Amino acid sequence: MARSKAEIRDLVQREDVQYIRLIFTDLLGILKNVEIPVSQLERMLDNNVAFDGSSVEGFVRILESDMLLHPDLDTFRIATWEHSQTGKVAACFCTVCGQDGQPFEGDGRVVLMRAVERMKAAGFSSFHIGFEPEFYLLKTDECGRPLIEQTDSGSYFDLAPIDTQVDCRRAIIHELIKAGFEVEAGHHEVGPGQHEINFMHADVVSSCDQVLLFKLIVKNVAKRFGVHATFMPKPKQGIAGSGMHTNMSLFDAEGKNAFYDPQGRMQLSDITYQFIAGVMEHVIGFCAVTNPTVNSYKRLVSGYEAPCYVAYSDRNRSALIRIPAPRGSRTRCELRMVDPTCNPYLAMAVVLEAGMDGIQRKLDPKEPMHVDLFSLSHEEREALGVRELPRNLMEAYEAMAHSHLVRHVLGESLFQKFLRSREMEWNEYRQYVSSWEVQKYCERF
């Protein structure tokens, strides 16, 4: 049941809130906010807090800069992760709107909500997502700047004293629970200094809100412990990258898991296979959205369990899509290539629309792959009909430029802005001379 204005007023008064952060994201999914004192609460509740949209990446032009923030009151919470010296702070996710009150087509949250509306029009009630974001805790210098130096030498599921940041991870979990997360587990990941905290799945818009808040809380708590949390996909050569495995479930009009069929092959419905086939068909075209940075493609290489090839399986972790064992209401597909640098709203919008396209066209994903795709040669994978994901941001950019689905989901204006931003990043990167190049070529030539 949606929270009312009266409930928000009561919460603010009861908790003695002094400031409210109105949170939204830019084109790339970077969190932004307008902070108001509690005296402006009524203006917030009337959807009348404005900001200059021309100053935000991917938003409007200077001549049409005035935008409004419409708070989603269901996301209103006390920002317990902030240790403010001037009173309690609350936070609330917002939808960006124009001065006419209409949702702004350049807001990723709006793009996702429209994709959900189209899904419901096709006869489904909800799309649930469970994210698994990984991150590294790094040492910092005397000024608090991150060093590319891990905080321990641990690996999968290690305990203290090898896992030196167990207290930091527990403090993060503690803050997540206070913020309303249902945390399932936390553990040391495979990389030295790498961690993962899993929280309960939710409807897709709420899950995207949650993962952005999760990253904010992780970074704030890590700073209190004198370390830096990074969600960079590949912070250092030779160690495991950080992904954001994405567990997906689709529910029918009666609220039943549409991926489950006790009589189906692997107890999966035809809809499951069609959804998977749609994602597989469009994944190369939307990879620039789910893996949007130069660094994203340093993770998508053989040897580190990050998928490079377009295939699906039940247990095979070299495949793009894995189908975990649980069935019934917990039946789901796991998309393994997504990373934490994406704008989750845009990423999930294109994934959902790709899956829905597969359902509408009754696509067939063919047979699952039960071989280690990393161990096969290019010719062997080609013989099996297994395509490769883009090898760098430019390849992903070029594939996206030809994707009719991504153009449709984002809308022409946002599509062009996103492409332009990725082209600019690639051009900036390709002009940079790395230390590897200097070491490789300076003396030799």
Instruction: Dig out the tokens for 293 from the structure.
Output: 């940075």
For residue 369, the one-letter residue type is M
> Which residue of the set 163, 196, 209, 281 is catalytic?
196
> Which residue of the set 334, 339, 353, 357 is catalytic?
334
> Which residue of the set 109, 169, 201, 336 is catalytic?
336
149 is an active site residue = no
52 is an active site residue = yes
196 is an active site residue = yes
> Which residue of the set 26, 107, 134, 353 is catalytic?
134
42 is an active site residue = no
64 is an active site residue = no
3-class SS letters over the chain: CCCCHHHHHHHHHHHCEEEEEEEEECCCCCEEEEEEEHHHHHHHHCCCEEEEHHHCCCCCCHHHCEEEEEECHHHCEECCCCCCCCCEEEEEEEEEECCCCCECCCCHHHHHHHHHHHHHHCCEEEEEEEEEEEEEEEEECCCCCEEEEECCCCCCCCCCCCCCCHHHHHHHHHHHHHCCCCEEEEEECCCCCEEEEEECCEEHHHHHHHHHHHHHHHHHHHHHCCCEEECCCCCCCCCCCCCEEEEEEEEECCCCECCECCCCHHHECHHHHHHHHHHHHHHHHHHHHHCCCCCHHHHCCCCCCCCCEEEEECCCCCEEEECCCCCHHHCCEEECCCCCCCCHHHHHHHHHHHHHHHHHCCCCCCCCCCCCHHHCCHHHHHHCCCEECCCCHHHHHHHHHCCHHHHHHHCHHHHHHHHHHHHHHHHHHHCCCCHHHHHHHCCCC
> Which residue of the set 132, 209, 353, 357 is catalytic?
132
CA separation for the pair 126, 348 (Å, rounded): 13
114 is an active site residue = no
- Please name which of 66, 87, 67, 65 lies closest in space to residue 21, comparing C-alpha atoms: 87
Cβ(192)–Cβ(154) below 8 Å: yes
189 is an active site residue = yes
CA separation for the pair 290, 337 (Å, rounded): 8
> Which residue of the set 128, 245, 299, 381 is catalytic?
245
> Which residue of the set 7, 15, 42, 52 is catalytic?
52
CA separation for the pair 65, 80 (Å, rounded): 32
201 is an active site residue = no
> Which residue of the set 189, 281, 339, 353 is catalytic?
189
77 is an active site residue = no
Cβ(259)–Cβ(314) below 8 Å: no
Active site residues: 52, 132, 134, 189, 196, 245, 317, 334, 336
